[in-house]
C-alpha cells in the first residue's frame, strides 16, 4: 500500500551549510544512496520522515478494510490467502516504521501521531468494504496502484527506505494477483456475482486513481522531491501508467471501467480519461472519508486492547534481568 505525500509543511529558511548541501546534492544527483549517519539537509530528513511514516501508517490502517472480511471469506483457500496478505501489510508497516526510525523519529511518536489524528494515511482506506468483491478490487486496483508507486521507490535515494521498498515490492505482487483472481472468478460467475464485481470496480476505480496524489500542477513539492530522488516519477506520470495497464485487464475479464470519457489516444499511446473529483480527495484527506472515524477507532482499540501483553512482556523482561543480575 502506498500513500503519496499528503501533508505539506511550510517551507522554512534553510540553515544548512552551503558546502555540505552542495556535496549532498551532488551525491544524490549521481544516484548514490544516503545512509542514516550521512549528513543530510533538514528538509530532506523532514520530508522523508513524513513520507515514510505516512506510508507505514497506510500499511497498518490498510489491514482494517480487509480484516473486515477474513471471517467471511467464501472458502478456506481464500481465507488463508487473505490472512497471509493482511499479515504482509503488518510486516510492511513494520519495515517502514523501522526505516523512518533511522531518521531520528521514534515509533512511539509516530504511533501517537497516527492515533491522535495528526498523521495522515492513504485516503483509500477511508472507504468501506461492502462486499466480498471489494477484496478483489482492493488487491487488483489498490495494491496495483501501490506497486506502481513503489517500484520506482526501490531506487529512492534514502538507503533504508529503498531497501524496505525492495522487500515490499517482492511481497506485493501476490497481493495484486490474488485480487485479480477474485475478480476474474466473480466476473465469470453468475449474473449476481458479475454485478458484484462490476459494482466493486465502480466504487474503487476513482479512489484508486486518487491514490497517486494531486495533479502535478498542484503538487508544489514534486520538483524538490524529484531532485532529491525521494520521488522518481510524478503523480500524473504514474497515474497514466496505471490507467494504461489496468484498462485492458478489466476488458479481459468483461468488466467496464466506470469512466465515460475513457478513450484510447493513438497519438500519445495511452488512454485519455475523465476528470478526477479532487474535492472528494481533499475532503477524504481531511478525515471526511465515509469510515475514517471507524478506522481510527478500530486502530486505537487494537492498540489499547494489546496493552496488557506489552506490559506483561516488560514485566517478564525485568524479572529475567533481575535474575540474571543476581
Residues near another protein (CB under 8 A): 35, 37-39, 84, 87-88, 91, 94-95, 98-99, 101, 106-108, 112, 163-164, 167, 171, 307, 310-311, 313-314, 316-317, 320-321
Is the CB of 39 or the CB of 278 nearer to another protein?
A: 39
Name the minimum Å distance from CB 299 to another protein.
Answer: 14
List the grid coordinates of 213.
496524489
Name the minimum Å distance from CB 269 to another protein.
Answer: 37
Is the CB of 223 or the CB of 317 nearer to another protein?
A: 317
Name the minimum Å distance from CB 310 to another protein.
Answer: 6
Is the CB of 107 or the CB of 194 nearer to another protein?
A: 107
**Neighbour count for residue 117 (Cβ, 10 Å):** 12
Name the minimum Å distance from CB 160 to another protein.
Answer: 8
Is the CB of 44 or the CB of 212 nearer to another protein?
A: 44
The torsion defined by the Cα of 102, 107, 112 and 117, in degrees rounded to 10, comes to 60
Closest Cα partner for 92 from 175, 28, 215, 158?
175
List the grid coordinates of 251.
476488458
Name the minimum Å distance from CB 259 to another protein.
Answer: 37
Is the CB of 106 or the CB of 218 nearer to another protein?
A: 106
Q: 104 to each of 46, 91, 218, 247, 290, how far by Cα in Å? A: 10, 21, 30, 42, 34
Name the minimum Å distance from CB 252 to another protein.
Answer: 29
Is the CB of 159 or the CB of 258 nearer to another protein?
A: 159
Is the CB of 251 or the CB of 314 nearer to another protein?
A: 314
Name the minimum Å distance from CB 133 to another protein.
Answer: 27
Is the CB of 35 or the CB of 251 nearer to another protein?
A: 35
List the grid coordinates of 175.
497481493
Name the minimum Å distance from CB 75 to another protein.
Answer: 22
Residue 216 and residue 204: Cα distance in Å, rounded?
Answer: 22
Amino acid at each position: 500500500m502506498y500513500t503519496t505525500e499528503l501533508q505539506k509543511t511550510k517551507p522554512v529558511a534553510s540553515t544548512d551549510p552551503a558546502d555540505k548541501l552542495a556535496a549532498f546534492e551532488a551525491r544524490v544527483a549521481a544516484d548514490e544512496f544516503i545512509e542514516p549517519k550521512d549528513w543530510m539537509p533538514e528538509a530532506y530528513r523532514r520530508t522523508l520522515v513524513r513520507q515514510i511514516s505516512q506510508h507505514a501508517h497506510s500499511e497498518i490502517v490498510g489491514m482494517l478494510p480487509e480484516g473486515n472480511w477474513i471471517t467471511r471469506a467464501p472458502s478456506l483457500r481464500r481465507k488463508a490467502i487473505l490472512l497471509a496478505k493482511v499479515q504482509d501489510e503488518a510486516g510492511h508497516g513494520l519495515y517502514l516504521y523501522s526505516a523512518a526510525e533511522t531518521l531520528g523519529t521514534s515509533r512511539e511518536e509516530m504511533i501517537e501521531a497516527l492515533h491522535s489524528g495528526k498523521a495522515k494515511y492513504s485516503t483509500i482506506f477511508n472507504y468501506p468494504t461492502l462486499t466480498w468483491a471489494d477484496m478483489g478490487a482492493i488487491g487488483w486496483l489498490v495494491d496495483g496502484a501501490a506497486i506502481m508507486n513503489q517500484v520506482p521507490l526501490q531506487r529512492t535515494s534514502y538507503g533504508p527506505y529503498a531497501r524496505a521498498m525492495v522487500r515490499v515490492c517482492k511481497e506485493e505482487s501476490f497481493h495484486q494477483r490474488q485480487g485479480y483472481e477474485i475478480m476474474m472468478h466473480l466476473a465469470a460467475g453468475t449474473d449476481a456475482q458479475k454485478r458484484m464485481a462490476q459494482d466493486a470496480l465502480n466504487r474503487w476505480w476513482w479512489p484508486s486513481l486518487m491514490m497517486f496524489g494531486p495533479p502535478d500542477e498542484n503538487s508544489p513539492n514534486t520538483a524538490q522531491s524529484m531532485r532529491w530522488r525521494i520521488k522518481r516519477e510524478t503523480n500524473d506520470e504514474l497515474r497514466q501508467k496505471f490507467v494504461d495497464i489496468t484498462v485492458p485487464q478489466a476488458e479481459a475479464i468483461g468488466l467496464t471501467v466506470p469512466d465515460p470519457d475513457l478513450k484510447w489516444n493513438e497519438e500519445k499511446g495511452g488512454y485519455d480519461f475523465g476528470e478526477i473529483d479532487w474535492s472528494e480527495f481533499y475532503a477524504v484527506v481531511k478525515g471526511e472519508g465515509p469510515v475514517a472515524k471507524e478506522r481510527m477507532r478500530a486502530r486505537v482499540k487494537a492498540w489499547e486492547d494489546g496493552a496488557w501483553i506489552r506490559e506483561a512482556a516488560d514485566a517478564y523482561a525485568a524479572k529475567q534481568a533481575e535474575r540474571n543480575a543476581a
